[in-house]
Amino acid sequence: MQEPVKKKKIKVTRAVNGVEQEVEIEVDDVAGPEWGPNDKHAILNKHITRVDAPLKACGIAEYSYDKRLPGMLYGRILRSPHAHARVTRLDISAAEKIPGVRAIVIVPGEKVVEGAKKASEEADKKNPTEVGGKDIKPEREPGKVVRFEGEPVAAVAATTPEIAKDAIRAIRVEYEKLPHVVKAEEAVKPDAPKVLAEGNIEPRSKRGDQAKTTAAFAECDAVVEADYRTPIIHHSSLETHGIVVDYRGGDSATIYASTQGTFTIPDESAKELGLAQSKVTAIVEHMGGGFGSKFGIGVEGKLACMLAKQVKAPVKMMLTREDEFLMAGNRSGSWQTLKIGAKKDGTIIAFHAAQRALGGLGRGSQAGQPYSPYAGKIANAYNEIVAVKTNEDASRAMRAPGHPQASFAIESIIDELAYKIGMDPLEFRIKNLKDEVYHRQLNRAAKEIGWERRNRTPGAGSGPRKRGMGCAVGTWGGGGNKECVVDVTIARDGAVTVAVGSQDLGTGTRTYTRAIVAEEFGLQVKDIVERIGDSRLGKANASGGSTTAASLAPSVKDAAYNARNMMAERVAPLLGVKAADVTFANGKVAGGGKSLTWKQACVALPSAGLAARGQWRPNLQATGVHGACFAEVEVDVETGFVQPIKMVQVQDVGLPLNRLALESQINGGMIQSLGMALWEGRVTDNQLGVMLNPGFGDYKMPGTLEMPEMIALIDDGDTRPAVIGVGESAIIPSLGAVVNAVHNACGVRVRELPITPDKILMGLYTEARTA
């Protein structure tokens, strides 16, 4: 009788939309691959040039946006110009007459007025119209209520993008405007227009003892209470959302998608196309960023499928930049009312928080207060979180959902409190951060930026241009899941291929996938070919929650390990040693004093070569990372202009698969955070209910001239030989660091992001008046 495989239980932390949960899972207790010490790798944990860099730099890499298929049509979406309205008439007769228009679909919507519905059905009977070979009813959806500016109403497929645009403009829609609300301050008023029938305030969570916390403030020597606000932020991926549906009738289709989840595509598109899921292939060769906004086919994908199905021709539906701002999700804003109190010695003993997540029609994401690095050590804490609804596009996940908002607010108020009790903000943090990893990281970054040079008194110094420094910390999970199936094949001619359906959303998946196999075989990165981004290959998880590397890398390692063992079995007889004694290093397969080149060794393989499969191994990954950021800025107190001077960010990561990619990821986190701190934010008009800056001219992202000197430091003090994802962790601490640096420089505490010159000047003015 075969002995059952022994099992062991291990604990892993999972972060879903910023909420970490510790779960116990059962795994096989068998020998298997291990990474070995982090400093003993030949390829990994080095600076590896991105394998797709030449393709991208030369414009050869083909994105979904670049796809041009024979007979392909271009899709375009008609959006609602109103924040809240009822469609009373929708007439496509003029649009369908435009030469080149091949199909029109109307977005199915809720029908809230029965009378209108009946009237429309009667109108339909009287007046069916022929478009694209199918009956399209020109007034199919009167009664549909649109609830945000940008809500799709109809879509068109035409032979050119220009014709498609003309066609959506030719669709006549009449709206009955309904009362809207687009500002949280308005939405919370009792007489505010109702965004949803349930009301505008959705309770989400309550934690802690409110009465005890409130009482604890009496024990405090210093208390700070303030509101902190962050606006809605846009993902601003360079490639917009969208898919190309290659369907020409028949029973199968191929979908080229700009997505974070190759395997989120076939099922949803198959449903829309009326095909079997197995007959739909998703291809994600290269994709231009998602930051959490690209899972599934989305409404644009649904419309593309509907159009393609109607005309039996390929349809490309890539959003325009304006579509992207108005209907492709966003990072929820926040409005956080915080109160914090400490003893004279700097011990925080009370923290009260009322947080509002501002996710438009969505629930928003909001990490609770006190934000996790500080949680657990504060004796009395209470927080409640509600979602405040407005007539705006629903929020989606965005790089560390809810964390930058929480980090900005707590790091601001902690800074305020530190100054109030007269303690060095760095010392004050170290006193109140339990986890010593933060102490190590803070001290290292402080040394790097020269914390001792900082302004002791905010705003002090002569001349209009004043420098200041600030710091902050962040945390994330970043562990993996058992979701990836990886195949490694070795051909008899020595070619090595690693294949998995996973996508590279810009984080360097292609590169580390190769590197892990190269490391295992003693080869170079260039000796390996990776195949990814194809749903016909081994299954992989969607890239969310920084889970890709920790899910995929262990599976790749396992596949390579298995392939290596199989290879060793084959080569061992040639070397006259046991398989266990065969070594793979420096392009050589060796043992017993003999050595073969890789190619020579591969001759020992059968003519079909060999193939090995790998599964996720929990011991090869871990979860839980820390980060600390310091920023130095220069503020011109006569103009309010902020020039970032230098940023230093330290990040632990377990085993850094590719130091270059990791440093880039940390740099990217700093840049994106800097954007949120100083320039970016959705601006809406209260009266009109519309977004005023839906384009890169007016939604101001930082450019080259805004960049400070950036130092990305990998914390090698973390020696865990395990892979952890840190894409999200990297964006969290820099926001608070920049905001605190601005205050340290000029003495003005701006509590509403972005910190633009007007806010600094008005802050200085108010200060001067009250002084």
Partner 1 sequence: MKAFEWSNPTNITEAVKLLQTAAQGADPDEAPRPMAGGQDLLTTNKHYITRPTRIVNLKGIRGLDRIEGNAKRGLKIGALATLTQIEENEEVRRSFPGLAEAALSVATPQIRNLGTIGGNLCQRPRCWYYRLEDVICLKKGGSQCYAATGENKYNAILGGGPSFIVHPSDLAPILLALNASVAVTGPSGNRQIALEKFFTLPSEGNLRRENVLQNGEVITEIQVPSSRMAARSTYLKFKERSSLDFALSAVAAAVEVGTDGVVKQARIVLGGVAPVPWRAPEAEAFLTGKKLDANILAEAAKLALRGAQPLEKNAYKVPLTQTLVRRALAKVGNVATA
Closest C-alpha among 354, 346, 126, 332 to residue 228: 354
Q: Point out which span in 19-27, 437-445, 522-530, 704-712 binds partner 1 (CB under 8 A).
A: 704-712
Rounded Cα distance between 136 and 37, Å, is 65
> Is 211 near partner 1 (CB under 8 A)?
no
Shortest gap between Cβ of 222 and partner 1 (angstroms)?
31
Shortest gap between Cβ of 734 and partner 1 (angstroms)?
18
Closest C-alpha among 351, 353, 349 to residue 379: 349
Rounded Cα distance between 718 and 732, Å, is 19
- The 137-176 site mask, x for binding partner 1 (CB under 8 A), equals -----------------------------x----------
Answer for which of 110, 122, 185, 638 binds partner 1 (CB under 8 A) is: 638
Shortest gap between Cβ of 413 and partner 1 (angstroms)?
25
SS3 of residue 23 by DSSP: strand
Cα torsion at 631, 635, 641, 645 (round to 10°)?
A: -40
> Is 178 near partner 1 (CB under 8 A)?
no
Shortest gap between Cβ of 464 and partner 1 (angstroms)?
7
Bridge partners (DSSP) listed for residue 340: 224, 351
Rounded Cα distance between 755 and 749, Å, is 10
Rounded Cα distance between 274 and 295, Å, is 20
Answer for which of 186, 659, 688, 767 binds partner 1 (CB under 8 A) is: 688
- Which C-beta is closer to partner 1: that of 165 or that of 588? 165
- Which C-beta is closer to partner 1: that of 506 or that of 681? 681
- The 727-766 site mask, x for binding partner 1 (CB under 8 A), equals -----------------------------xxx--xx--x-
Tokens encoding 693: 């800056």
Answer for which of 373, 477, 702, 708 binds partner 1 (CB under 8 A) is: 702
Cα dihedral 577, 581, 586, 589 sign: positive
Rounded Cα distance between 551 and 542, Å, is 10
In one-letter notation, the amino acid at residue 420 is K
Rounded Cα distance between 573 and 604, Å, is 9
Answer for which of 32, 81, 100, 296 binds partner 1 (CB under 8 A) is: 81
Whether residue 383 contacts residue 354, with contact meaning beta carbons closer than 8 Å, is answered with: yes
Closest C-alpha among 309, 341, 312 to residue 225: 341
- Which C-beta is closer to partner 1: that of 321 or that of 440? 321
> Is 645 near partner 1 (CB under 8 A)?
no
- Which C-beta is closer to partner 1: that of 586 or that of 639? 639
- The 463-482 site mask, x for binding partner 1 (CB under 8 A), equals xx------------------
| Residues making up the chain, counted from first to last | 771
- Which C-beta is closer to partner 1: that of 37 or that of 703? 703
CA 70 to chain CA mean position, Å? 34
Residue 384 phi, psi (nearest 5): -130, 140
Shortest gap between Cβ of 685 and partner 1 (angstroms)?
5
Closest C-alpha among 486, 487, 515, 504 to residue 657: 515
Whether residue 242 contacts residue 319, with contact meaning beta carbons closer than 8 Å, is answered with: yes
Answer for which of 690, 711, 726, 746 binds partner 1 (CB under 8 A) is: 690
Shortest gap between Cβ of 186 and partner 1 (angstroms)?
14
Answer for which of 2, 457, 607, 687 binds partner 1 (CB under 8 A) is: 687
- Which C-beta is closer to partner 1: that of 4 or that of 99? 99
> Is 639 near partner 1 (CB under 8 A)?
yes
| Helices 659-678 and 403-421, axial angle in degrees (round to 10) | 70
Answer for which of 289, 693, 752, 767 binds partner 1 (CB under 8 A) is: 693
> DSSP secondary-structure letter at 431?
H
Answer for which of 359, 480, 538, 640 binds partner 1 (CB under 8 A) is: 640
In one-letter notation, the amino acid at residue 362 is G
For residue 289, the tally of other CB atoms under 10 A from its CB is 17
Count of residues of this chain found to bind partner 1 when the rule CB under 8 A is applied? 33
Q: Point out which span in 52-60, 515-523, 621-629, 678-686 binds partner 1 (CB under 8 A).
A: 678-686
Answer for which of 74, 438, 521, 679 binds partner 1 (CB under 8 A) is: 679
Shortest gap between Cβ of 254 and partner 1 (angstroms)?
32
Q: Point out which span in 119-127, 200-208, 550-558, 686-694 binds partner 1 (CB under 8 A).
A: 686-694
> Is 301 near partner 1 (CB under 8 A)?
no
> Is 698 near partner 1 (CB under 8 A)?
yes
Alpha-carbon Rg for the chain in angstroms: 28
Q: Point out which span in 402-410, 527-535, 541-549, 636-644 binds partner 1 (CB under 8 A).
A: 636-644
> Is 699 near partner 1 (CB under 8 A)?
no
Q: Point out which span in 171-179, 422-430, 438-446, 682-690 binds partner 1 (CB under 8 A).
A: 682-690
Whether residue 626 contacts residue 647, with contact meaning beta carbons closer than 8 Å, is answered with: no
- Which C-beta is closer to partner 1: that of 166 or that of 527? 166
Strands (E), 454-515: 465-476, 486-490, 496-499
- Which C-beta is closer to partner 1: that of 167 or that of 473? 167
Whether residue 403 contacts residue 334, with contact meaning beta carbons closer than 8 Å, is answered with: no
Whether residue 91 contacts residue 123, with contact meaning beta carbons closer than 8 Å, is answered with: no
Tokens encoding 634: 């220069």
- Which C-beta is closer to partner 1: that of 186 or that of 221? 186
Rounded Cα distance between 254 and 503, Å, is 16
Residue 305 phi, psi (nearest 5): -65, -45
> DSSP secondary-structure letter at 190?
T
In one-letter notation, the amino acid at residue 34 is E
Shortest gap between Cβ of 458 and partner 1 (angstroms)?
20
Shortest gap between Cβ of 147 and partner 1 (angstroms)?
17
Answer for which of 5, 211, 705, 771 binds partner 1 (CB under 8 A) is: 705
Rounded Cα distance between 82 and 509, Å, is 41
Non-local CB neighbours of 753 within 8 Å, separated by 6+ positions: 229, 230, 231, 408, 676, 677, 681, 735, 739
Q: Point out which span in 400-408, 441-449, 582-590, 677-685 binds partner 1 (CB under 8 A).
A: 677-685
Answer for which of 108, 199, 573, 703 binds partner 1 (CB under 8 A) is: 703
Rounded Cα distance between 452 and 471, Å, is 13
Whether residue 499 contacts residue 434, with contact meaning beta carbons closer than 8 Å, is answered with: no
Shortest gap between Cβ of 323 and partner 1 (angstroms)?
14
Shortest gap between Cβ of 155 and partner 1 (angstroms)?
19
Shortest gap between Cβ of 82 and partner 1 (angstroms)?
9
> Is 462 near partner 1 (CB under 8 A)?
yes
> Is 99 near partner 1 (CB under 8 A)?
no
> Is 59 near partner 1 (CB under 8 A)?
no
Rounded Cα distance between 192 and 199, Å, is 9
Shortest gap between Cβ of 108 and partner 1 (angstroms)?
24
Bridge partners (DSSP) listed for residue 614: 486
> Is 717 near partner 1 (CB under 8 A)?
no
> Is 700 near partner 1 (CB under 8 A)?
yes
- Which C-beta is closer to partner 1: that of 98 or that of 421? 98
Shortest gap between Cβ of 698 and partner 1 (angstroms)?
6
Q: Point out which span in 284-292, 513-521, 659-667, 694-702 binds partner 1 (CB under 8 A).
A: 694-702
> DSSP secondary-structure letter at 214?
H
Whether residue 591 contacts residue 582, with contact meaning beta carbons closer than 8 Å, is answered with: yes
Residues engaged in binding partner 1 (CB under 8 A) = 81, 166, 462-464, 638-641, 679, 683-688, 690, 692-693, 697-698, 700, 702-706, 756-758, 761-762, 765
